[in-house]
């Protein structure tokens, strides 16, 4: 079963730059996919289109049965509840504790206190931060902050986890920790993960399927792929 189906998608920004040309792609449920490419290759645009931050100019994107391109602004939340998103800059709320930051995602969709509590603690346990629930983000290292962000992304049990350069601000050691956490989520929860990155080490060591973009064109889609310089 394909969780994501992308058909003839083209994205042209208002300033005239075309970020994606005629992209066709299907991503299976439960898979772990890297999207790689240099800057300007369109990998961020692709991720943004998957969570409907950007709309495709042409073509069709189906995520978990929802036609993303046709989704109205007022209905975007329906898509967002099916997926979790992790960014390079963590995007935590500085005035909330670790627990509150993760619980925030449950509160705003109206979950009950008890349900929130069990789910938040479970998510924090999965990312290995159960002992830091009462800390504030600025008391944590970058890697830990990113793990809080991951916990927040998975707390609603999404089918899909989108990561836009989650290790971009971290040193190689911390990056590997994050990858372990993500791999673990992929394996134990069966969450489909799509991760945009330009980190060679990570891609080569994880041996997952790899989508390679170059100047907005899909150049390679491989199982157990590696980061090939000459293609980029």
Partner 1 sequence: MRIFRMLGRSIRDAFKSVIRNFSLSLASISCITITLIIVAIAIMASFNVQNFTKEIEKDLTIVIFLNNNVTEEDIQLVENEIKSIPNVNKKSLVFASKQQVKEEMQEESEVFDTVLDEWSNEESPLKDTFQVKVKDVEKISNIAARIERIDHVNTVRYGEGMVDKMVTAFSSIEKVTYGVVIALVIVTVFLIINTIKLTISARRREIGIMRLVGASNFTIKTPFIIEGMILGLLGSIVPVIFTTYGYLAFYKHFDGYLFTQLIQLIEPEPFIYSTAGIVVIIGILVGMVGSASAVRKYLKI
Distance of closest approach, residue 169 Cβ to partner 1, in angstroms: 17
Strand 2-12 versus strand 18-28 pairing type: antiparallel
Beta carbon nearer to partner 1, 81 or 187: 81
Distance of closest approach, residue 91 Cβ to partner 1, in angstroms: 6
Number of residues this chain uses to bind partner 1 (CB under 8 A): 20
Does 161 engage in binding with partner 1 (CB under 8 A)? no
Instruction: Build a one-symbol-per-residue string for 197-226: x at contacts with partner 1 by CB under 8 A, - elsewhere.
Output: ------------------------------
Does 15 engage in binding with partner 1 (CB under 8 A)? no
Does 93 engage in binding with partner 1 (CB under 8 A)? yes
Does 107 engage in binding with partner 1 (CB under 8 A)? yes
Distance of closest approach, residue 198 Cβ to partner 1, in angstroms: 22
Beta carbon nearer to partner 1, 112 or 118: 112
For partner 1, which residue of 73, 118, 188, 223 counts as binding (CB under 8 A)?
Answer: 73
Computed over its alpha carbons, how large is the radius of gyration of the chain?
17
Residues that bind partner 1 (CB under 8 A): 51, 73-74, 76-78, 80-81, 85, 91, 93, 104-105, 107-110, 112, 152, 156
């Amino acid at each position: 079963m394909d969780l994501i189906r992308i058909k003839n998608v083209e994205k042209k920004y208002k300033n005239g730059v075309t970020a994606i040309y005629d992209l066709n792609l299907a991503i299976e449920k439960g898979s772990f996919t890297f999207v790689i490419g240099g800057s300007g290759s369109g990998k961020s645009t692709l991720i943004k289109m998957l969570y409907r931050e950007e709309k495709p100019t042409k073509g069709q994107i189906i995520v978990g049965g929802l036609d993303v391109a046709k989704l109205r602004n007022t209905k975007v939340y329906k898509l967002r509840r099916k997926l979790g998103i992790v960014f390079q800059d963590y995007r935590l709320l500085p005035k909330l504790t670790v627990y509150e930051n993760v619980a925030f995602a449950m509160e705003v969709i109206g979950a009950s206190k008890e349900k929130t509590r069990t789910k938040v603690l479970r998510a924090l346990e999965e990312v290995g931060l159960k002992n830091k629930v009462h800390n504030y983000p600025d008391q944590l290292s970058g890697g830990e902050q990113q793990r809080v962000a991951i916990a927040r992304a998975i707390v609603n049990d999404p089918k899909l986890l989108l990561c836009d350069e989650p290790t971009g601000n971290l040193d190689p050691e911390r990056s590997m920790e994050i990858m372990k956490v993500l791999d673990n989520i992929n394996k134990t929860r069966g969450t489909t993960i799509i991760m945009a990155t330009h980190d060679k080490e990570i891609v080569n060591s994880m041996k997952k399927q790899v989508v390679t973009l170059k100047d907005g064109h899909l150049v390679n889609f491989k199982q157990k792929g590696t980061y090939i310089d000459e293609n980029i």
